[in-house]
Amino acid sequence: MTSSTVSTARPAEIAWHPAVGRYAPIVVIALALIAAWYIAAVLMNINLVRNETPYTTAELIAGTLNAERPLLPAPHQIIETFADDVFDWPVTSPRSLVYHGWVTLSATFLGFLLGAAFGIILAVLIVHARTLQKSLLPWIICSQMVPILAVAPIVIVVLGSIGLRGLLPKAIISAYLCFFPVTIGVVKGLNSPDPIQRDLMRTWSATPGQIFWKLRWPSAVPFLFTSLKVSITISLIGAIVAELPTGAQAGIGARLLAGSYYGQTIQIWAALLAASLLAAGLIGLISLAERSVARLMGAH
Amino acid sequence: MASIRPFEHTTAPEAATGEAGAPAAKALTVDARGVSLTFHTGDGEVQALANVDLQISDGDFVSLIGPSGCGKTTLMRIIADLQQPTAGTILVNGVSPEQARLARHYGYIFQAPALYPWRTIERNVMLPLEIMGFDAKERRARMERYLKLVNLSGFERKFPWQLSGGMQQRASIARALSFDPALLLMDEPFGALDEIVRDHLNEQLLRLWDQTGKISRATARWRFARRRNSSRSRSACARACARAILMTSSR
């Protein structure tokens, strides 16, 4: 019959907005986590407020969620402190999280650039010289087995003794951590062209340089971006770790350390929130670059 | 193990190039004598080619046919210097395959189009020209000419994934023709395509041979060598080529 009868015969479907289908699962999980967090905060902080002899259960719970030095701060406390640290202080003040965030971020950027460049150079060497693959690769893997928490103070002290302080030592530690995924990813990418694509280059008797720039490097680009996304978060971690042994002058690592010295749990959590927002932003930046490069390279 | 013998083939139309008539008059494009290739693998030696003699003269359109595993691809790869024989001598245009490769005598078309996915069709066709140092104007002119020849005008700015398999293979033919190679080697160029598209492309290929012969008569003669995969398509091969060579497997 007509199409209208067909459509009425179907069971009625709720017309969801596409955004609902996309974000609903994320929102549900986030809400569940926040609920679990509040419950955990009540349970963990209850011993702190019991001595203050509150009169009702409601007051007891309110006390656990607003303690001054809670074991586990409630989400609204963290956000309050975070907002206070970010917006209520001038960005040049050592009390401002923006100031500390920038200190860490600049070390992250420099470390990431150094590490990515070093990682790419290593990968190119490894791909082009078999002897280097045999001699370098074990060292590269070993370098990642050394606990960075042990190495960081050594690097800081050694570089400090030759007059290098501040940004560069932190960037070097960050680079030390983040070059590895780049090397592994780019080696794989440079070796990814299939035999036919390489045979073509051979029949045209292309030079090694031409094979690199016109075949190997473009093939490696998708692998490179995947590695860079891993590597930039690692370089942020490296920068934070590098701030711990410097005596906590500035940076998110310094905030974490100071918070733990003085039992300021809310401050620690606010710094953690800042670090994860930075990491998310950095990955977002790389993804943005990845998408525009992919569009230029004809991805669909 | 494979040996080779000329396949007595006379059904070719007026293109009977008279290879038996006056062999001395024509230059030999491929001259292989006693070519053998043995692979050393984990479980012993595998002989891919045994004592192959093959002469292809200038301007010939030759098909290699035979059962799978008889060494057709291997022989073509040896001609193109993608593999080296373990015995025997082979000359391509009077020089060794390596010298011929370095002089860029080969256009090689594989079973898969193998277009570079990050390049548009026009930039794929211009890739060998870039490598060989043609200037930008000449690159563009040749790209336009050969895309027109394979009926792909208008698809210059498309990326390979936006084209069908047959169109991609045609683009790869344009790419192989773009630098006027002396010898065009095709390894089951239409093997991955369906029967109808394959027949259509075979006809186009014949026309192409005709046209390119005309185009380049003033400068260099076109030399074609191609292969068909199985004896089943021998009739198709008979229509498509001037000379067929049957390779047998004695494994």
- Out of A201, A202, A297, the one facing B118 most closely (by C-beta) is A297
For residues A104 and A52, membership in a common domain is answered with: no
Angle, vertex CA B115, rays to CA B207 and CA B184, nearest 5: 40
Does residue A4 lie in a domain region? no
pLDDT score of B161:
93
For residues A115 and A236, membership in a common domain is answered with: yes
For residues B3 and B85, membership in a common domain is answered with: yes
* pLDDT at B248 exceeding the cut of 80: no
**CATH at residue B175:** 3.40.50.300
Q: Going edge to edge, which strands form the sheet with B28-41? A: B44-57, B28-41, B87-92
> Among all residues of chain A, which has the CA nearest to that of B157?
A298
Considering only CB atoms, which chain B residues are within 8 Å of A210?
131
Question: Within the 64-93 window of chain B, which residues sit less than 8 Å (CB to CB) from chain A?
Answer: 80-82
**CATH at residue A218:** 1.10.3720.10
B89 by DSSP, 3-state: which? strand
Interface test with B, best of A203, A213, A216 (most B CBs within 10 A): A203
For residues B29 and B1, membership in a common domain is answered with: yes
Does residue A2 lie in a domain region? no
User: Which two tokens mark A249?
Assistant: 């002058």
Angle, vertex CA B1, rays to CA B77 and CA B8, nearest 5: 80
Q: Does B118 touch chain A (CB under 8 A)?
A: yes
> Among all residues of chain B, which has the CA nearest to that of A210?
B131
Cα A105 from Cα A251, distance rounded (Å): 8
Q: Give the end of a domain, one of A72, A87, A121.
A: A72
For residues A149 and A251, membership in a common domain is answered with: yes
Does residue A91 lie in a domain region? no
Does residue B231 lie in a domain region? no
Q: Does B134 touch chain A (CB under 8 A)?
A: no
Cα B179 from Cα B155, distance rounded (Å): 20
Which phi and psi angles does B193 have, rounded to 5°? Answer: -105, 165
CA distance A91 to chain B (A): 44
Tell me the per-residue pLDDT of B173-194, one tens digit each, with 9 for 90 and over: 899 989 888 888 888 877 777 7
> Among all residues of chain B, which has the CA nearest to that of A293?
B118
Does residue B226 lie in a domain region? no
> Among all residues of chain A, which has the CA nearest to that of B180?
A204
Q: Do B116 and A215 touch (CB under 8 A)?
A: yes
CA distance B125 to chain A (A): 12
Q: Supply the range of the domain harboring residue A28.
A: 15-72
pLDDT score of B65:
78
The neighbouring-strand residues paired with B3 are B248
Q: What is the mean pLDDT of residues A30-56?
A: 83
Q: Does B120 touch chain A (CB under 8 A)?
A: yes
Helices (H), chain B: 72-79, 97-102, 121-131, 136-149, 165-177, 195-215, 234-240
- Out of A201, A203, A206, the one facing B80 most closely (by C-beta) is A203
pLDDT score of A260:
84
pTM of the shown model:
0.79
- Out of A196, A204, A297, the one facing B112 most closely (by C-beta) is A196
> In chain B, pLDDT over 90 holds for what percent of residues?
21
Cα B183 from Cα B195, distance rounded (Å): 26
- Out of B102, B120, B162, the one facing A205 most closely (by C-beta) is B102
Range name among A52-66, A105-119, B150-164, B213-227 with the lowest pLDDT average:
B213-227
Q: Do A204 and B117 touch (CB under 8 A)?
A: no
Q: Does A210 touch chain B (CB under 8 A)?
A: yes
Per the structure, how many domains does chain A have? 2
User: Which two tokens mark B237?
Assistant: 């091969």
For residues A107 and A177, membership in a common domain is answered with: yes
- The DSSP annotation for B135-183 comes to -HHHHHHHHHHHHHHTT-TT-TT--GGGS-HHHHHHHHHHHHHTT--SE
Q: Does A214 touch chain B (CB under 8 A)?
A: yes
For residues A246 and A114, membership in a common domain is answered with: yes
* CB B64 within 8 Å of CB B124: no
Question: Within the 50-69 window of chain B, which residues sit less than 8 Å (CB to CB) from chain A?
Answer: none
Q: Does A209 touch chain B (CB under 8 A)?
A: no
Q: Supply the range of the domain harboring residue B46.
A: 1-58+68-94+241-251
For residues A109 and A213, membership in a common domain is answered with: yes
For residues B126 and B164, membership in a common domain is answered with: yes
From the list A106, A112, A143, the residue with the least C-alpha distance to A229 is A112
Q: Which helix (H) or strand (E) holds A107?
A: helix A97-128
For residues B245 and B148, membership in a common domain is answered with: no
For residues A50 and A108, membership in a common domain is answered with: no
Range name among A47-61, A87-101, A145-159 with the lowest pLDDT average:
A47-61
Tell me the per-residue pLDDT of A215-272, one tens digit each, with 9 for 90 and over: 999 999 999 999 999 999 999 999 998 888 765 578 888 888 888 888 888 889 998 9
* CB B150 within 8 Å of CB B174: yes
Q: Do B110 and A206 touch (CB under 8 A)?
A: no
- Whole-complex ipTM: 0.78
Range name among A289-293, B56-60, B85-89 with the lowest pLDDT average:
B56-60
* CB B244 within 8 Å of CB B63: yes
B195 by DSSP, 3-state: which? helix
Does residue B170 lie in a domain region? yes
Look at the alpha carbons of A299, B176, B206, B157 in this order and tell me if their dihedral is positive or negative. positive
Tell me the per-residue pLDDT of B105-154, one tens digit each, with 9 for 90 and over: 888 888 888 999 999 999 999 999 999 999 999 999 999 998 988 889 99
From the list B233, B249, B251, the residue with the least C-alpha distance to B63 is B233
> Among all residues of chain A, which has the CA nearest to that of B183?
A203
CA distance A8 to chain B (A): 39
Q: Do A214 and B108 touch (CB under 8 A)?
A: no
* CB A146 within 8 Å of CB A180: no
For residues A184 and A256, membership in a common domain is answered with: yes
For residues B198 and B251, membership in a common domain is answered with: no
Does residue B234 lie in a domain region? no
The neighbouring-strand residues paired with B47 are B38
Does residue B162 lie in a domain region? yes
A84 by DSSP, 3-state: which? helix
For residues A107 and A233, membership in a common domain is answered with: yes
Q: Do B131 and A204 touch (CB under 8 A)?
A: yes
Q: Do B116 and A205 touch (CB under 8 A)?
A: no
- Out of A197, A210, A297, the one facing B114 most closely (by C-beta) is A197
> Among all residues of chain A, which has the CA nearest to that of B184?
A203
> Helix, strand, coil shares of chain B as percentages rounded to 5?
35, 25, 40
Q: Does A14 touch chain B (CB under 8 A)?
A: no
From the list B62, B135, B131, B59, the residue with the least C-alpha distance to B102 is B131
